[in-house]
């Protein structure tokens, strides 16, 4: 009977995946490249503060490969930005879907010329343009762009998405029948359990050694000292090319009964930050480990991800041994299984609570002598012992104590408001140059903020250590050529720099007229065009930059062409 039950469960799981795929048109969309589809990342793989929302298609480590429309439709939008997608095209199709192609170097000629003219007309490089259906219609297989490495890309590739045009939800492209060789089942490398009487953050994950014999994964009996526990899994999927991909589908069973499961079929950009409630965020940020919960955290509200009414939290009401089975599947049905047992031990430990605990669905205001934080509802995913305090800061430009906000290893869903009082009286000029800096370990985020009474107010969506700085320094750009030098290359690059914060404004004028520079990370690049042809003689380039604090710098460069 037990073998029969497992067989029926396996059949049901396979049928579920097949049925899901049949909800979408099969083979309607073509490969947007003219080389075989190879994945560098799939839909749903864990990224910092978001799920990966499409497929990253390998371009053989090259740029400028031709990119083709996956189906007939029309160019409905283009977007040009410093980070994110870089240069992107959106094509809306008559069957209710929109495809997105990102990190491009160049659009097809007619579109590229249209965008360039608009940039010069607007005197603005960044663009977000919406088109009508009759402006740029495309046929299936039509050349639409050249691939690249623009925006937030870490290497040449094509990011490809399929969205529901009406809802704008991103859908898993692998459910649309693309042929990508995959005969490899998900690979399990770790199992963890959590004491769910309080929080997954404290005391945190308890590691369990995983063994593999043949194609079967197992772990020794898990003896726990809490009557309420949950599990999490560390695993990756692989296609035949060998890149580490994200897990598509999981099931958790106790004593043969399904108690949790998730499938990553669709996610909207409005909800993608909820990934922080699906993973062990602390492990991901601190140790770069992708551990996914096989349970629902109380503040995780992502719809359509996990099976409704199944929390994954295990209540052990006895000291009997209970069977645990974890099933992982990819879109092609390749399956891995891990079996273990769980038992409540005799000695149940106690966990003390804190007066500073912040819980999901609770708005809370916390204060120190010189700071205040306002947390809205739905800010945290699980209970947080929110330790907030001040300490002196010795940085030369600092004009406040450093305000420690819990830990950078605790995630938040919504932005919070922070107010900080300076530790001395500031002049009017200094007040205008105050910025708020948040250090969250791996990086810093610096914003202008605004004055609210005698405090400076700012919004952030990460925790860490914050302080006020007065910035009187100028931003600048540096050129790679000497003054009045002859330039024979196809482009020029200006390297941007500012001591605190970022360069937030940039304007270049060639001989008094606006010139189109693209923002490439911290630098600015101009590709020579008809605005500055060869043999056009001596030129004056005026560059005006502004930083986060509002300091403005004007620089003059000369060159010959």
pLDDT digits (tens, 9 = 90+) for 465-477: 999 999 999 999 9
Per-residue pLDDT at 6 = 43
Summarize the confidence of residues 240-255 as an average pLDDT: 93
**pLDDT over 80 (residue 237):** yes
Per-residue pLDDT at 345 = 87
**pLDDT over 50 (residue 13):** no
Distance between CA 24 and CA 470 in Å, rounded? 55
Distance between CA 460 and CA 449 in Å, rounded? 10
* Adjacent-strand bridge partners of 339: 218, 325
- Whether 295 contacts 277, CB under 8 Å: no
Residues 6+ apart with CB under 8 A from 510: 531, 532, 539, 540, 541
CA angle 547, 470, 462 (to 5 degrees): 75
Could you tell me which residue, 267 or 243, shows the higher pLDDT?
Answer: 267
% of the chain with per-residue pLDDT over 90: 88
- Whether 206 contacts 225, CB under 8 Å: no
Distance between CA 479 and CA 449 in Å, rounded? 31
What is the band of 16 on the pLDDT scale with cuts at 50, 70, 90? Answer: very low
Distance between CA 174 and CA 53 in Å, rounded? 12
Distance between CA 405 and CA 449 in Å, rounded? 17
**pLDDT over 60 (residue 12):** no
Choose among 164, 155, 242, 227: nearest CA to 196.
Answer: 227
Residues 6+ apart with CB under 8 A from 377: 361, 362, 363, 414
Between the CA of residue 515 and those of 273, 477, 492, 524, what are the distances in Å?
A: 37, 15, 12, 11
Q: Mean pLDDT score of the chain, rounded to an integer?
A: 93
Lowest mean pLDDT of 146-150, 361-365, 548-552, name the range: 361-365
**Alpha helices in 23-133, H assignment, sequence order:** 109-122
Distance between CA 265 and CA 268 in Å, rounded? 11
Between the CA of residue 542 and those of 107, 398, 507, 514, 533, what are the distances in Å?
A: 28, 33, 8, 9, 18
pTM of the model: 0.92
Summarize the confidence of residues 274-289 as an average pLDDT: 95
Phi-psi category of residue 156: left, alpha or beta, with phi > 0 → left and psi -120 to 50 → alpha:
beta
Half-sphere CA count of 223, side-chain side, radius 13 A: 6
Per-residue pLDDT at 349 = 63
What is the band of 280 on the pLDDT scale with cuts at 50, 70, 90? Answer: very high
- Whether 233 contacts 239, CB under 8 Å: no
**pLDDT over 90 (residue 243):** no
Choose among 308, 294, 317: nearest CA to 188.
Answer: 294
- Whether 191 contacts 233, CB under 8 Å: yes
Q: Are strands 55-58 and 66-68 parallel, antiparallel or unpaired?
A: unpaired
- Whether 486 contacts 560, CB under 8 Å: yes
Summarize the confidence of residues 520-539 as an average pLDDT: 93
Summarize the confidence of residues 369-377 as an average pLDDT: 96
Half-sphere CA count of 144, side-chain side, radius 13 A: 32
Helix, coil or strand: residue 382 = coil
Distance between CA 385 and CA 235 in Å, rounded? 29
Per-residue pLDDT at 352 = 59
Per-residue pLDDT at 490 = 93
What is the band of 70 on the pLDDT scale with cuts at 50, 70, 90? Answer: very high
- Whether 378 contacts 301, CB under 8 Å: yes
* Adjacent-strand bridge partners of 194: 230
**pLDDT over 50 (residue 9):** no
Per-residue pLDDT at 442 = 82
- Whether 452 contacts 421, CB under 8 Å: no
- Whether 366 contacts 388, CB under 8 Å: yes
What is the band of 11 on the pLDDT scale with cuts at 50, 70, 90? Answer: very low
Distance between CA 243 and CA 493 in Å, rounded? 34
Distance between CA 360 and CA 307 in Å, rounded? 21
**Token match 């004491």: residue?**
195
**pLDDT over 70 (residue 354):** no
Per-residue pLDDT at 14 = 42
Distance between CA 216 and CA 337 in Å, rounded? 6
What is the band of 198 on the pLDDT scale with cuts at 50, 70, 90? Answer: confident
% of the chain with per-residue pLDDT over 70: 94
- Whether 254 contacts 229, CB under 8 Å: no
- Whether 327 contacts 273, CB under 8 Å: no
- Whether 253 contacts 374, CB under 8 Å: no
Measured distance between the N- and C-terminal CA atoms of the chain, rounded to whole angstroms: 83
Distance between CA 392 and CA 402 in Å, rounded? 6
- Whether 225 contacts 350, CB under 8 Å: no
Helix, coil or strand: residue 122 = helix
Between the CA of residue 45 and those of 56, 173, 244, 408, 512, what are the distances in Å?
A: 11, 13, 9, 22, 48
Choose among 328, 323, 331: nearest CA to 215.
Answer: 328
- Chain segment 115-139, per-residue pLDDT in tens: 999 999 999 999 999 999 999 999 9
Per-residue pLDDT at 467 = 98
């Amino acid at each position: 009977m037990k073998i029969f039950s497992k067989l029926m469960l396996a059949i049901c799981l396979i049928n579920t995946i097949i049925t899901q795929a049949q909800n979408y048109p099969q083979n309607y969309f073509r490969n947007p490249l003219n080389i075989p589809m190879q994945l560098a990342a799939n839909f749903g793989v864990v990224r910092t503060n978001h799920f990966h929302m499409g497929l990253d298609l390998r371009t053989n480590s090259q740029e400028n490969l031709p990119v083709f429309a996956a189906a007939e439709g029309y160019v409905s939008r283009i977007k040009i930005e410093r980070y994110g997608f870089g240069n992107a095209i959106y094509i809306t199709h008559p069957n209710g879907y929109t495809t997105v192609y990102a990190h491009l170097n160049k659009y097809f000629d007619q579109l590229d010329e249209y965008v360039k003219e608009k940039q010069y007309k607007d005197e603005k490089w960044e663009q977000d343009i919406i088109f009508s259906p009759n402006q740029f219609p495309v046929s299936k297989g039509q050349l639409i762009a050249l691939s690249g490495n623009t925006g937030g890309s870490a290497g040449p590739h094509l990011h490809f998405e399929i969205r529901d045009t009406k809802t704008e939800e991103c859908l898993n492209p692998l459910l649309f029948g693309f042929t990508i060789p995959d005969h490899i089942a998900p690979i399990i490398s770790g199992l963890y359990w959590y004491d769910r009487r309080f929080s997954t953050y404290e005391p945190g994950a308890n590691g369990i050694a995983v063994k593999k014999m043949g194609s079967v994964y197992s772990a020794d009996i898990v003896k726990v000292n809490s009557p309420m526990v949950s599990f999490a899994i560390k695993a990756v999927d692989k296609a035949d090319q060998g890149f580490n991909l994200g897990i598509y589908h999981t099931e958790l069973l106790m004593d043969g009964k399904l108690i949790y499961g998730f499938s990553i079929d669709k996610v909207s950009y409005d909800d993608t930050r909820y990934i922080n409630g699906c993973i062990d965020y602390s492990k991901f940020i601190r140790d770069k480990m992708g551990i996914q919960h096989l349970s629902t955290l109380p503040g995780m509200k992502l719809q359509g991800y996990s099976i409704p009414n199944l929390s994954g939290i295990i209540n052990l009401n006895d000291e009997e041994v209970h069977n645990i089975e974890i099933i992982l599947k990819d879109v092609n049905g390749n399956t891995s299984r891990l079996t273990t047992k769980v038992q409540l031990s005799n000695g149940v430990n106690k966990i003390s609570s804190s007066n500073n605990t912040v819980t999901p669905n609770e708005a809370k205001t916390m204060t120190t002598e010189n700071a205040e934080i306002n947390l809205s509802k739905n800010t945290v995913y699980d209970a947080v012992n929110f330790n907030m305090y001040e300490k002196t800061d010795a940085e030369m430009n600092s004009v406040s104590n450093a305000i420690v906000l819990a830990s950078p290893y605790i995630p938040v869903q919504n932005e919070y408001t922070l107010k900080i009082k300076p530790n001395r009286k500031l002049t009017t000029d200094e007040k205008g140059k105050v910025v708020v800096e948040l250090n969250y370990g791996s990086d810093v985020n610096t914003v202008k903020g605004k004055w609210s009474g005698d405090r400076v107010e700012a919004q952030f969506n990460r925790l860490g250590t914050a302080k006020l700085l007065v910035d009187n320094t100028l931003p600048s750009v540096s050129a790679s050529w000497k003054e009045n030098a002859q330039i024979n290359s196809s482009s020029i690059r200006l390297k941007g720099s500012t001591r605190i914060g970022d360069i937030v404004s940039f304007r270049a004028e060639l001989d008094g007229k606006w010139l189109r520079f693209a923002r490439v990370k911290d630098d600015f690049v101009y590709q020579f065009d008809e605005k500055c042809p060869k043999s056009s003689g001596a030129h004056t380039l005026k560059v005006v930059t502004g930083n986060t604090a509002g300091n403005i710098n004007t620089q003059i460069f000369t060159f010959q062409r």
